Chains A and B, each alone.
Chain A
Amino acid sequence: MNFDPIFLIGEFSLVALIVILTLVDAMRKPVFALLGSSAEITPDIESRNRQATWIAGIGLVIVAAVYFIFGKATSGESVSLLHDSLRAGGGVYIGKLAIIGAGILTILLSARYTMAQSIPAADYYLLLCFSLLGALTLIAAENFLMIFLSLEMMSIPIYALVGLKRYNSRVGESAIKYLLLGGLSSAFLLLGISFIYGMTGTLVVNDVLTHLSQVSQTVSSEMLLMGLGLVFIFVGLAFKVSLVPFHAWTPDVYEGAATPVTSFMSVAVKLAAFAVILKIFAGSLLFPAFDPLFSRLFAFFALLTIIYGNSVAIVQKNVKRMLAYSSIAHAGYMALALAPMGHNIEAVQAVLFYGIGYIAMNMLAFGVLVYLTYRDKYCETLEDLTGIARKYPGAAAVMSVAMFSLGGLPPAVGFVGKVQIFLQLINGKFYATAVIALLFSMVALYFYINVIVVMYMKEPEAEVANIDKKSMLPVWLTLGFSTLFILILGILPSPLMEWSLEWAKMLF
């Protein structure tokens, strides 16, 4: 068998970390009696949480280091592994590092959050690692079987993670809502896959694409069934990245989940799902039969998403909810780059650039919210942010950086990303679409700037709480790294452009 384990070194080390974390935690007394109520917390939860946090944090850094060092050797050319189910090596190296990086930032954010909220940390990190593993295999998946399995491995732990938050009575509702709609979406994805499989007789993505590119343009039952299959796949994936008609779960789930989980969900899951969309819809081959249809679909849904996300975000009083709608809008921007359906590498690169930049921006914005959260006092509304610049100038400053980047203002990476996406639209002669999208990203500036205004220009209504600054070191690591990432790559974007180009080559 042509199987070289070095190509999957990242996944293997992550699996080893999961096994270690499971066994170490299993050897101690249970924190909760299973299905128990909150009264049954054992007193040593803090030491256990600290242990689990250290293992998960250091372990994931080791995974990243191992992959960075040993995986580097594989970054030359890509190979297909395990009978065309995974593609490893090549540019996917960049993507996996970005996803693992998002995981590390999430764990740094969670370190104090789980402690302060008495979330059982071992369960939390286990679920997070499972989801990370799913995301890693998803961006490398080469086969519809693998795409489906990885997508579910990424999503199902998140359903459980959403339900893990405490001190909030509504968290169960958002978890079950996410689960039911997620199940619905994967059923649609599978129906699409089954149609495509029925028509082509293969599950390997590249073979399917070759078949699709040869479908004649005349209307036939074959074209109908294949088109239906592709549309169903599009619907299933649009649920995951929350394009507008399929966004219903997003605000509730983002608001209901623990803030670090929300940040992980909004960046890693979205980026991985977009990698699949790019692979299937923006791949190297032209589909004369389907391109006009999907050009319209992408333009329509992306525009709808941008308009809806940005205009509803304006009226939100809750910052997390506002960021949820802004995350919907950003999914719209990323999908917009695909509207010309040119199958050129620049469009794919623009989306991946935006996706990687978005990791840093959203981590920063949610990181500040984590920073200001303590025990049962969630920092979620605009009132909680009012006038924090006096007491926490650092947090206010990095929040401003995040808002600038999300709004797409010049010195940040978000600006470069938006410019690239609009360039794609102009190259594809989608002038009207570009103008409308630009108009609504101006509208979006209002609520991003509003956060900065509230932080700096208003007096706090209530006493701003004291925060133990020593325990905040991990959060500061995340904030500092993300800020540097945004500013440096905002001013000198060429390295990130090269990385995303390398990743984009993989999808071709």
Chain B
Amino acid sequence: MNNPFTDFIIGSGGIYTIAVVLLLFTLGGMTVLFRRTLLHMLMGVELMLNAVNLSFIYFSRLHQNHDGQILSLMIFVVAACEVAVGIAIIVHLFKRTGTISVETYTAERG
């Protein structure tokens, strides 16, 4: 089966959108993995989710249906929930140790 969308995506600039999505996603992933501050790591997760949002909206326009846009709205909601819980935990950690640098929290290993 030949998917008509494949040719379209590869052919007419869709590849650039995918490239931007993957670039943003990788940047976010790098932020989570290599930053040493908890808040920055949380921001990295948000960046990854927003990169995915971009790709959903692009594909939604491509297919002319609205599933992708609805999903991207839901991603906003879920990201907000995750940040709410995350910042609460970070505040708790900050109150206890006075820092949000990851090096402080390497006690658990094994």
Contacts and interface: CB of A to CB of B under 8 A. Distances in A.
Q: Do chains A and B touch in the complex (CB under 8 A)?
A: yes
Interface of A: 35, 37, 144-145, 148-149, 152, 156, 159-160, 163, 169-170, 172-177, 179-180, 183-184, 186-187, 190-191, 193-195, 197-199, 201-203, 214-216, 220-222, 225, 251-252, 255-256, 316, 321
B70 A176 contact: no
B16 interface: no
A225 B14 CA distance: 13
Contacts of A199: 3, 5-6
A215 B71 CA distance: 25
A173 B93 contact: yes
Contact of A179 (B28, B74, B85): B85
Contacts of B21: 191, 194
Given A176-B86, A176-B90, A215-B1, A169 B63 contact: no
Contact of B25 (A149, A173, A179, A191): A191
B55 to A, nearest CB: 4
A394 B21 CA distance: 58
B93 A194 contact: no
A190 B52 contact: yes
A16 B29 CA distance: 39
A45 to B, nearest CB: 19
A195 B14 CA distance: 12
Contacts of A175: 89
A148 B71 contact: yes
A149 to B, nearest CB: 6
B93 A201 contact: no
A321 B90 CA distance: 24
A14 to B, nearest CB: 19
Contacts of B85: 156, 159-160, 179
Given A180-B42, A194-B55, A201-B5, A37 B71 contact: no
Contacts, number: 143
B32 A180 contact: yes
Given A194-B59, A221-B6, A172 B93 contact: yes
Given A198-B5, A255-B108, 9 more contacts: A159-B85, A172-B93, A177-B105, A180-B45, A184-B29, A191-B51, A193-B71, A225-B6, A321-B110
Contacts of A159: 82, 85-86, 89
Nearest 9 CB-CB pairings of A with B: A183-B45, A187-B48, A201-B63, A198-B59, A222-B6, A190-B52, A194-B55, A172-B93, A173-B105
A251 B90 CA distance: 20
A133 B108 CA distance: 31
B10 interface: yes
Contacts of B1: 214-216
Mostly, the A contact residues are helix
A111 to B, nearest CB: 25
Interface residues of B, number: 49
A169 B93 CA distance: 9
A194 B53 CA distance: 9
Contacts of B67: 145, 197, 202-203
B108 A180 contact: no
B39 to A, nearest CB: 11
Contacts of B89: 159-160, 163, 172, 175-176, 179
B92 interface: yes
B81 interface: yes
A222 B42 CA distance: 33
A149 B95 CA distance: 32
Most buried by A among B52, B74, B93: B52
Contacts of B58: 198
Contact of A180 (B41, B51, B56, B62): B41
B107 A173 contact: yes
B70 A145 contact: yes
B3 A222 contact: yes
A318 to B, nearest CB: 9
| Residue picked from A148, A175, A176, most chain B C-beta under 10 Å | A176
Interface in B36-94: 38, 41-42, 45, 48-49, 51-52, 55-56, 58-59, 62-63, 65, 67-68, 70-71, 74-75, 78, 81-82, 85-86, 88-93
Given A187-B45, A199-B6, A203-B71, A152 B78 contact: yes
10 contacts: A156-B81, A174-B108, A176-B105, A180-B32, A183-B86, A195-B55, A197-B59, A197-B71, A198-B55, A251-B110
A169 B96 contact: yes
A5 B36 CA distance: 49
A197 B68 contact: yes
Given A197-B68, A222-B6, A179 B108 contact: no
A119 to B, nearest CB: 14
A222 B7 CA distance: 9
Nearest to A34: B88
A235 to B, nearest CB: 12
Contacts of B91: 35
A152 B82 contact: yes
Contacts of A163: 88-89, 92
Contacts of A195: 55
A35 to B, nearest CB: 7
B59 to A, nearest CB: 4
Contacts of B49: 183, 186-187, 190
Nearest to A196: B59
Contacts of B48: 183-184, 187, 191
A149 B6 CA distance: 28
A184 B95 CA distance: 25
